[in-house]
Amino acid sequence: MSFEEIKRQAASEWKAMQNSPIPRILIGTATCGMAAGAETIMEALNAELAKNNIKADIIQVGCIGLCYAEPLFEVIKPGKPGVFYGDLTPELVAEIIRDWLVGDNPRPDLALGTRGEGTLKGIPKLFELPVLKPQVRIVLRNCGNIDPTNIGHYIANGGYEGFIKALKMKPQEIIDEMKKSGLRGRGGAGFPTGMKWQFCHDAPGTVKYIVCNADEGDPGAFMDRAVMEGDPHAVLEGMLIGAYAIGASEGYVYIRAEYPLAIKRLVVALKQMEECGLLGDNILGSGFNFHIKIKEGAGAFVCGEETALMASIEGNRGMPRSRPPFPAQSGLWGKPTNINNVETWANVSAILQKSASWFASYGTEKSKGTKTFSLVGKVVRTGLIEVPMGITLREIIYGIGGGIPGGKKYKATQTGGPSGGCLPTSFLDSPVDYESLAAAGSIMGSGGMVVMDETTCMVDVARYFLNFTQSESCGKCVMCRLGTKQMLDILQDIVNGKGRPGDIELLLEVGDAIKNGSLCALGGTAPNPVQTTIRYFRDEYEAHINEKRCPALACRPLISYYIIPEKCQGCGICIRACTSEAIKGGKRMVHVIDQSKCAKCGTCLDVCPAKFSAVAISSGAPVKAPAEPVPVGGKA
Amino acid sequence: MKVAPAIEGARTATPGTDKAIDSQMNEILTHFKGEKGELIPILQQVQQRFGYLPEQAMKRIAEFVHVPPSTVFGIGTFYAQFKLVPTGRNIIKVCRGTGCYVRGAPKIITELENQLGIKDGDTTPDMEYSLETVACFGSCALAPVMVVNDKVHGRMTPEKAKKAIGKKSE
Ligand SMILES: Cc1cc2nc3c(=O)[nH]c(=O)nc-3n(C[C@H](O)[C@H](O)[C@H](O)COP(=O)(O)O)c2cc1C
Ligand code: SF4
Ligand code: SF4
Ligand code: FES
Ligand code: FES
């Protein structure tokens, strides 16, 4: 079959599905949907459909990104717009089937929003909601919309058109198009993609390689996983285009082993490409050959670094080496190699399908297009988002994210993972692009965005990241290996209440030395989380060191739990919950915590009824509570 | 501790005798050609089959891909996925990534350590459970996250964590 025929068939099948006389239910079954309980919902759905004798197509899709509302599905009744329902339980599934599929009530009280033509009374349009309105979907164009295991769905939505166009262009024309688009690498450093391709294209040699970096090592980030699970062909088509432009006939996807579902989806997608003649020898009769292999990582953060990654593919310990030579000159097995991130590749296919100028119409002068972020941490609507470059942090956190839960105060946003930094309140109105984030001392990174509130201790966060980089250092460079250890020891002392005057200066000094003495960016950026938190939250460091006080009331060694005598009603709930037997009390007695027995687990604070709110935390001062239980209402 | 109730996905095969390891190794190696680039994929298969890398297996692999045993050991110790000592039938992994950390992962880890009576990285003496912490599962929006064998559990609380490993709540 020629591609034209494949396309025609895919289009007619897609159309038939859209016009199908039976209802369709699209359910998100990516890893995160599963973690939220999508499996139980599927079972309930099948049972309810059978019970009510309804025939419906159930289509498993990737993520639409509304993770906070998972498990989630979209119910499409013939001739009606699709209706999204979130926070599903088996009971809600039964109600929705009964009222909307059997009956005629779309349950506006349960619906999140509608998608597609037409409106339903009392239900907003999904893409008009604050969570989606500011978003622009280029990378995530098909996620949550198509069945990722069906190449026909991808093709019917414009898939592989970009590659067909590329086949009719000269390699240099494709590279020029990439340069014109202004696309910069989404793996962290933001290097211009067109320029990178040019280097590899120009490198002498007939054997060249293409690599897709799907190691996604930044803890707290899952954009790449979501794309591979929800729309694997978008990434693979990008690789095909890149290979053709550069002149490579072999490609690798290096993917972390922690992503079993994404691996499964890629395997299926590769097989379908072959069946359609889009992969292998003489692709679509063009004489162009390309093969893709999947390589699973084995759990080392440093393997996301390009030279370490290539060492790992070759079967060695994943240790970075010095550059030059750059991979474009000497990469895998000494051959010119071009390596790009998952999201970069997914942008490539979109750019060729639409155009460079279309892509460049989004974003800012130096940061074109969109960026995906995984918005997590202390934010109401956690999720996978895609926004035009240049949007402000405030629009992301308060607009899309809906602000901070529990009425708490915003403190900082961490971008760039272990290589990045923490941005305080004063940056809420700064644009999110490569330059602004770098100016603030952080980096764009791959897209992890962790929101922190007043209960997050910034010294502890710095310690957390140092602990991460210290244990992930490959050990090659002395400064990275031992310097991070020293910084970690100092930070450990500070959060344990053993900080000394001069520690802050020492941290800054060691940090600079690590930056200068490290071969790769793991060491080169490891001090960033510490240095930015010192820059913006120096007062928190000083409180820990000078007053042995944790202002966020988070560092266990520096806090004490106590029961406020005026508030305790002697209900005894905390006594039963405390596994350390640290609470003394009795009926109608004000309870007290024995500090010598308390493990500081915080359970008593969690279980004390909200109407009493009698358990509190203090730091830096002795607790104000009696030593032994006293009658409720009496004087403390 | 009594033998725990079966949890979905528990590993059933035990490595067994040296001879059993050898015959299973034969089987695994038939899927490979003996090239250096296959070293990590082979080790991954072995890890999956036995739950760790038996010394004897590593020596076999070294011969198979024509590298000194020290190279194989070097790789076995470098990557976090590989274990050099036997692990339990049930692998409990808890995320310690940033998204989970700020949403209470330390409490989940402490609860599991208390429930199982072991520390992060250890295995219960009856070889039922191993407890590990992992950098991130990519389900951060559902933090805190844990994985029991291969099943991902999101929005954990200490109480839910206890249930997920098959312990009854009091
Ligand atoms: C320690 C370290 C870890 C990295 N991890 C990743 C990663 O997980 N994914 C990724 O795409 N790039 C990662 N990078 C960046 C890569 O080295 C490389 O710059 C990137 O894959 C290039 O692709 P791009 O130009 O499309 O961004 C990492 C770099 C360092 C120094
Ligand atoms: S900077 Fe650190 S991780 Fe990078 S090569 Fe040196 S020791 Fe290894
Ligand atoms: S913090 Fe934990 S150990 Fe301490 S009194 Fe409260 S419940 Fe008991
Ligand atoms: S629900 Fe899958 S990315 Fe969020
Ligand atoms: S931070 Fe825990 S799953 Fe990502």
Domains of chain A: 9-128 (3.40.30.10), 160-360 (3.40.50.11540), 370-453 (3.10.20.600), 458-546 (1.20.1440.230), 556-634 (3.30.70.20)
Selected residues 33-72 of chain A with any CB under 8 Å from a CB in chain B: 34-37, 67-68, 70
Distance from CA of A555 to the nearest CA of B (A): 12
Give pLDDT, residue A121: 94
Chain B contact set for A257 (CB, 8 A): 44, 81
Alpha-carbon Rg for chain A, nearest whole angstrom, is 27
pLDDT digits (tens, 9 = 90+) for B108-122: 999 999 899 999 999
Q: In angstroms, how far apart are the furthest CA atoms of chain A?
A: 91
Residue B157: is it exposed, middle or buried by C-beta count within 10 angstroms (0-12/13-18/19+)? middle
Nearest-atom number in ligand 1 for the CA of A196 is 25
Whether the pLDDT of residue B28 is over 80: the answer is yes
Measured distance CA(A63)–CA(B100) in Å, rounded:
20
Q: Are A298 and B74 in contact (CB under 8 A)?
A: no
The conformation of residue B36, written as its DSSP 8-state character, comes to G
Name the residue at shortest CA distance from atom 20 of ligand 1.
A187
Segments in chain A below pLDDT 70: 634-636
Chain B contact set for A457 (CB, 8 A): none
Cα distances (Å, whole numbers) of residue A242 to A76, A143, A170, A216, A264: 37, 22, 12, 21, 23
Contact B137 A31 (CB under 8 A): yes
Q: Which of A452, A458, A507, A451 shows the shortest CA–CA distance to A484? A: A507
Give pLDDT, residue B4: 47
Whether the pLDDT of residue B140 is over 80: the answer is yes
Name the residue at shortest CA distance from atom 4 of ligand 2.
A520
Helices A232-246 and A171-181 meet at what angle, rounded to 10? Answer: 120
Report CA torsion sign: A187, A192, A194, A198: negative
Q: Which residues pair with A375 in a beta bridge?
A: A383, A449
Helices A342-353 and A171-181 meet at what angle, rounded to 10? Answer: 110
Nearest-atom number in ligand 5 for the CA of B137 is 3
> Amino acid identity of B107?
K
Parallel/antiparallel/unpaired status of strands A82-85 and A73-76: antiparallel
Q: Are A111 and A123 in contact (CB under 8 A)?
A: yes
Nearest-atom number in ligand 3 for the CA of A577 is 7
Helix, strand, coil shares of chain B as percentages rounded to 5? 45, 10, 45
Distance from CA of B16 to the nearest CA of A (A): 25
Inform me whether the C-beta atom of residue A96 falls under 8 Å from chain B C-beta atoms.
no
Average pLDDT, rounded, for chain B: 88
Measured distance CA(A460)–CA(A619) in Å, rounded:
15
> Amino acid identity of B60?
R
Whether the pLDDT of residue B3 is over 60: the answer is no
Nearest by CB to residue B79, choosing from A258, A298, A378, is: A298
Measured distance CA(A381)–CA(A399) in Å, rounded:
10
Give pLDDT, residue B6: 60
Give pLDDT, residue A636: 42
Alpha-carbon Rg for chain B, nearest whole angstrom, is 18
The Cα angle at residue A386 between residues A383 and A390, in degrees rounded to 5: 125
Average pLDDT on B28-44 reads 93
For the stretch A214-226, what's the b/e string if a residue is b when 16 or more beta carbons lie within 10 angstroms of its beta carbon? bbbbbbbbbbbbb
Domains of chain B (ranges, CATH numbers):
18-78 (1.10.10.1590), 90-164 (3.40.30.10)
Chain A residue at shortest CA distance from B78: A317
Question: What pTM value is reported for the model?
Answer: 0.92
Specify the 3-state DSSP secondary structure of A55.
coil
Average pLDDT on B17-23 reads 84
Distance from CA of B101 to the nearest CA of A (A): 9
Peptide bond into A71 cis (omega under 30): yes
Measured distance CA(A484)–CA(B36) in Å, rounded:
33
Give pLDDT, residue B53: 95
Give pLDDT, residue B7: 73
- Who's near A245: CB < 8 A, 6+ residues apart? A166, A171, A174, A175, A178, A197, A201
- Please name the residue that has the structure tokens 């972390």: A256
